[in-house]
Amino acid sequence: LGHTLGKQCGDESSSNLNNSWLELTNFLTGQDLTTISSEMHSIMREHRKNHTWCTYCIAFTYYLSVALIEGPDFRDSVGASDIPNQCDIIAFAKSTKYEIISLNMQTNQMIRSFLFRQYDEILKTPGILSRLLGNKIPLFSLFVVGVFYEGLSSFCMARRTQDDIWITKGNAALAFIQHWSNLAPRNFENKLLLLEAEKYFTVDDSYQAQKCYEDAIRSAQTHQFIHEEAISHELAGLFYLDKGQHDKSRQSLSRSIGCFKLWGASAVVERLSSFIRDSFEGACNLEWVTE
């Protein structure tokens, strides 16, 4: 509506901004990735002669969306000269004084690194929450969700490295998301529950971890965040696998596959399918469960 009204009133800037935020919101709420990437590509093409900070922010999420479909090694396709390429936007983000653009790049990198389990990249990505608290940066929804992914990554790294600094970072992210869950439970309840589950898994409280995983999955289903339901199923599956509960692990991981498919994240489906084949004998015949 804001995009249409802006067009009708001749306010091109507001129109473009509203359209960009709509597609970013669609990404954050787990709408179909193919549709989102197509719409974002159209936005960038429409404004290719007048790139604003908003165009660059959209470009990062566009390339993240395409990577989730095509794979983490996706690079600019042939004939994409009508939109900013990845090298250009990364170079601009590193050189600009606009904190919003550089933090946007950092947040998209954190999401990509977590979803593809690129642990070396997680190690290299600076803290999102520390930048938000230490600088006067607007708390855009993307950055708040970025803290959620930073928390998940931190607890994951804590289990991998046995370094308490990651638990500290995870707890800080959890406290931040808890504040937002109090303000907007519909949007953040499932995120808080999943972070709590990961915390309990990390400190070896299996009873509380399982309860929080189950609650996080139900909350994501209730609030229709299919992508975060997928993440919750996957992390629960990894928890059950660690505890030797192989049947429950396979069921959770298969449901994660189904949810990632519905989101359109084909490359994540491929990564997780490969993990299942490597982890379970005969898993190639496993029927994906989406109920």
pLDDT digits 0-9 by tens, 81-128 = 566 676 777 777 777 677 888 888 899 999 999 999 999 999 988 899
pLDDT at position 3: 46
User: Cα–Cα distance between 152 and 92 in angstroms, integer?
Assistant: 28
Q: Give the whole-number percent of the chain exceeding pLDDT 70.
A: 83
Contacts of 67 (CB under 8 A, 6+ apart): 74, 112, 116, 267
Residue appearing with tokens 């499932």: 190
Answer yes or no: are the C-beta atoms of 2 and 15 closer than 8 Å.
Answer: yes
The model's confidence at residue 15, banded by pLDDT at 50, 70 and 90, is: low
The model's confidence at residue 162, banded by pLDDT at 50, 70 and 90, is: very high
User: Cα–Cα distance between 214 and 192 in angstroms, integer?
Assistant: 13
- Residue 142 reports pLDDT greater than 60: yes
Answer yes or no: are the C-beta atoms of 274 and 43 closer than 8 Å.
Answer: no
User: Cα–Cα distance between 53 and 57 in angstroms, integer?
Assistant: 6
| Other C-beta atoms lying within 10 Å of the C-beta of residue 252 | 23
The pLDDT tens digits for 206-259 are 999 999 999 999 999 999 999 999 999 999 999 999 999 999 999 999 999 999
- Residue 13 reports pLDDT greater than 60: no
What burial class does residue 68 get, using C-beta atoms within 10 Å of its C-beta: 0-12 exposed, 13-18 middle, 19+ buried? buried
At 282 the three-state DSSP class reads: coil
